[in-house]
């Protein structure tokens, strides 16, 4: 079973409208920030303990997503984390110590973000960027938990377990 670790964000009608138009995974996942990309075949007891240790001493924090950017590779459109980035990077780094080290994606830089769209061609992403450049998209939230999500074979959400920050 594939799993990943994410932060879910509150529902936002503007973001949902954009994701519905540009993100082919819109129906599979609600808006989120990925902390650990999909991995599999890990003892659940070890994983739960690892997540709890990784979150040790990390307190709830305020987060703001604002600013649109293309991914450095491929054709992903991001809504960037502005406030709370330091905390997200700290959690990400801790999660990939020890137990999850072999799953760390070294081929792409980790940029805390929410994916707004996935495109096949440069022309498509450039068109979307032009359309969205004048929109002042912003999400503010208080983050007090993260989620270990279990994925179906088609990578849709099967179930999740919530872990609270201190």
Tens-digit pLDDT profile for residues 30-48: 899 999 999 999 999 999 9
Q: Is 2-164 in CATH node 3.90.1140.10?
A: yes
State yes or no: pLDDT of 157 exceeds 90: no
Residue-level pLDDT at 108: 85
**Spatial CA neighbour of 63 closest among 25, 108, 22, 12:** 12
Position 143 scores a pLDDT of 97
Q: Is the pLDDT of residue 4 over 90?
A: yes
State pTM to two decimals: 0.93
List 142's β-bridge partners, or say none.
Answer: 62
Predicted pLDDT at 145: 97
> How many Å apart are CA 164 and CA 15, to the nearest integer?
25
Q: What is the mean pLDDT of residues 102-123?
A: 94
Q: How sure is the predictor about 1, in pLDDT bands with cuts at 50, 70 and 90? A: confident
Q: Phi and psi (nearest 5°) for 110?
A: -85, 120
Answer yes or no: is pLDDT of 5 > 90: yes
**Average pLDDT of the segment spanning 98-104:** 94
């Amino acid at each position: 079973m594939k799993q990943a670790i994410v932060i879910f964000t509150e529902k936002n009608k503007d973001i949902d409208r954009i994701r519905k138009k540009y993100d082919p995974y819109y129906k599979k996942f609600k808006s989120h920030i990925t902390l650990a990309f999909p991995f599999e075949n890990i003892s659940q007891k070890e994983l739960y303990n690892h997540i709890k240790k990784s979150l040790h001493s990390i307190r709830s924090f305020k987060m703001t997503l604002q600013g649109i950017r293309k991914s450095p590779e491929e054709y992903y459109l991001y809504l960037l984390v502005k406030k709370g980035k330091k905390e997200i990077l700290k959690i990400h780094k801790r999660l990939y110590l020890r137990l999850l080290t072999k799953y760390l994606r070294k081929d792409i830089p980790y940029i805390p973000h929410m994916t707004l769209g996935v495109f096949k061609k440069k022309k498509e992403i450039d068109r979307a960027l032009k359309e969205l450049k004048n929109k002042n998209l912003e999400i503010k939230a208080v983050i007090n938990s993260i989620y270990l999500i279990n994925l179906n074979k088609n990578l849709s959400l099967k179930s999740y377990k919530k872990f609270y920050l201190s």
